[in-house]
Chain A
Amino acid sequence: MTFQRLKSHLPWITLLVLVAVVGAVDPTFLRPVNLLGLAGDIVPLFIMALGLTFAIYIGGIDLSAQSMANMITVMASLYLSSLGLWVAPLCIAVGFLLGTVSGYFTTRQFVPSFISTLAVGGVCFSMAQWLSGNRALNMDATQRDALFGWMIGRTGIIPNELFIAVGLLAICLFIERRTTLGRALKAVGAGELAAAASGLNVGRFKILAFAISGALAAVAGLLFSVKLSGGAPTIANGFLLPAIVAVLVGGTPLTGGVGGVLNTAIGTLIVAVIRSSMLYFGIEATQQQMVFGLVLIVAIALTIDRSKLRLVK
């Protein structure tokens, strides 16, 4: 019981402990500029994790997020010159649409979400390769700066990405806490059958969750391509694992229903601190994937609600 009560507070306690430990080892880590920079760097990942939160919150998973972001970097780089600012809504619409497709197959055709999203991810990868001709693309630097430069500059010592992140977080938090959509998603995640027996159109809400996940993955891809001033079919590889880790260590379990986007914000910060602390402790970047894989297992094992799994398959 005490652990159960502690559980919901575990994420931020973990975050504070990690920050304190790293700060004790290297006090420069705690300098505001450093911390803000750290937070700014992880924004594309955060946005992807934010989207994933919706899919996981209803008890599903979105494995297409990374391929989606990859494809969007290509699309953004390719169409920036011809579409200008309109490339942003295009990218988001494509993400939303493909998310809807995953959601449709999962809810209406009974394809498990890890397969349907994997399949949509495959389609994204193909499209990215086709659009890019299988090579890296560059954006026109002056056009990028003119149209999207505001995304990546700094205001004082605060990176502009952070404003975007906080803005999106606020919107998602509002959706989650104050709208019928958020309430319905919670009901679906916590008790799908009861939600259906209350007359909710469960299928539509689940499709929407996947669509939001797709749209936010697209935003992440867009921001990433602006940051790197280009795109390629594999440029965002390496995002999926830390994004899933961020959602899960934040306290949204694989079984859904509890947690939420604020938890993901904390989870992403934990990921950021782990990343940079590995540098401080001399763990090379090449080993990060291993560490995150292990963190993932621990996070799932601690958060998953086993009473909801009659059989573990």
Chain B
Amino acid sequence: MAKRLLTYENAVRWAPLLVLLALMLLFTAINPAFLTERNLARIAIAAAPALMVAVGVTFIIIMGSIDLSMEGSISLTAVLFCFAFVQFGGTLAAGAWLAVPLILLAGAGIGLVNGLVHVRLRIPSFMASLAIGFVCTGAAILVTGGDIVKIDDDVFRALLTWRILGFPLMVYVAALGVVVAWVILSHTRFGRHLYAVGGGEELAHASGVNVGRVRLVGFVLAGLFYAVAAILQVAKLGQAESVTGANFMFLSITSTVVGGVALWGGIGGAWNTLVGVLIVFVINNGMVVIGLPDYVQNGMLGVLVIIAVILSTDRRSISFVK
């Protein structure tokens, strides 16, 4: 049997990457300042927290569910992180590093609640997570009383300020996050079960996969990655408030889908998400470089996500959609 190059799988795998390269060529052609180390570092810094959010939601989308809780989840963990950081001494040099594992745990906990509401109460994930997201935002407002919490620690801010090969440390942290996600998705039993659930939940169940537990762990992992995103976002801004997570929902889902992770589940992976996030941020950055106002961003995301979903939908397999 001759190997066919132009299969659906290959298209999904390579099309987003080609789009990314084409975009970079296009913007460089319009304005050579695009392809400078400084500008690329700028894109990377902007993208790092969003990348972690997108990687988190990738786990969920691969199993055919959706998570809309990230905005609240990030706001709450970011705020809690700042409080804990200050509480434990205000500098990494003292005991403030304790805030990191604590907040990762908190993120995982939020994910767990999310998963429990979805799996145990049998509520569709988009609504369960939306509600949890609202609760978390509410909780963030509650603990801050609407104020901004600042962190002023040079050691912690090294995530942003300490540059290796021109890119700040947080970019490497995010890259590590992608690698970890890739290993989980591609090389562990749990990761492959996510694909199995996304590809055919009933079939997976019939083969002895504990679907409920896979879903739960998926949400816990997503929550964990949102917490990482929150920490990076705090490192980037030096502060947190109840709207720290705003806009991440739309951004991360769009990026994931644009990268080729199918909204129906089962297709795509960590690399797709990476490429998707880069596409979105390259477009954002490119628009600024060629002089378009930044408020075009949301509209562009809207158009992108619809195009991506339409392109990735296998029409033969759907009867109707709500």
Contacts and interface: CB of A to CB of B under 8 A. Distances in A.
- Do A and B touch, yes or no (CB under 8 Å, in the complex)? yes
Interface of A: 58-61, 105-107, 109-116, 118-123, 125-127, 129-130, 134, 192-193, 196, 202, 241, 244, 254, 256, 286-294, 296-297, 300-301, 304, 306, 309, 311-313
Given A106-B322, A125-B299, A130-B295, A119 B131 contact: no
B135 interface: yes
Q: Which of B134, B265, B293, B310 gathers the greatest number of chain A CB atoms within 10 Å?
A: B134
Contacts of A296: 127, 130-131, 134
A106 B306 CA distance: 10
Contact of A254 (B121, B124, B249): B124
A313 B309 contact: no
Given A286-B141, A290-B138, A297-B131, A309 B299 contact: no
B310 A293 contact: no
A309 B122 contact: yes
B139 interface: yes
Interface of B: 64-66, 68, 117-119, 121-128, 130-139, 141-142, 145-146, 201-202, 249-250, 253, 263, 265, 293, 295-303, 305-306, 309-310, 313, 315, 318-322
A9 to B, nearest CB: 22
A312 B306 contact: no
Contacts of B142: 286-287, 290
A313 B134 contact: no
Contacts, number: 160
Contacts of B145: 286
Given A293-B138, A304-B123, A112 B321 contact: yes
Contacts of B309: 109-112, 115
A122 B302 contact: yes
Which 3 interchain pairs have the tightest Cβ spacing?
A: A290-B138, A126-B299, A289-B138
A121 B201 CA distance: 31
A301 B121 CA distance: 6
Contacts of B118: 312
27 contacts: A109-B313, A111-B309, A111-B310, A112-B263, A115-B306, A115-B309, A116-B306, A118-B253, A123-B302, A130-B293, A241-B134, A244-B130, A254-B127, A287-B138, A287-B141, A290-B138, A290-B142, A291-B138, A292-B138, A294-B131, A296-B131, A296-B134, A300-B121, A300-B127, A306-B122, A312-B123, A313-B65
Contacts of B132: 293, 297
A254 B134 CA distance: 17
Contact of B322 (A113, A288, A290): A113
B124 A123 contact: no
Q: Which of A120, A121, A290, A301 gathers the greatest number of chain B CB atoms within 10 Å?
A: A290
Contacts of B65: 313
A292 B250 contact: no
A288 B138 contact: yes
Nearest to A119: B302
A116 B253 CA distance: 12
Given A115-B263, A288-B138, A301-B123, A123 B322 contact: no
A112 B309 CA distance: 9
Given A119-B303, A312-B118, A110 B135 contact: no
Contacts of B313: 109-111
Contacts of A311: 201-202
A122 B122 contact: no
A293 B122 contact: no
Contacts of B320: 192-193, 196, 202
Nearest to B309: A111
Contacts of B321: 106-107, 110-113
A286 B241 CA distance: 13
A241 B263 CA distance: 24
A293 B134 contact: yes
Contacts of A130: 293, 295-296
B288 to A, nearest CB: 15
A297 B299 contact: no
Contacts of B303: 119, 123
Contacts of A192: 320
Given A106-B321, A111-B310, A304-B123, A294 B135 contact: yes
Contacts of A125: 298-299
B55 to A, nearest CB: 19
Nearest to B321: A110
A291 to B, nearest CB: 7
A105 B313 CA distance: 12
Nearest to A189: B322
Contact of A126 (B117, B135, B136, B297): B297
Contacts of A106: 321-322
Q: Which of A61, A192, A202, A300 gathers the greatest number of chain B CB atoms within 10 Å?
A: A300
A118 B220 CA distance: 24
B295 A126 contact: yes
Nearest to A285: B141
Nearest to A128: B295
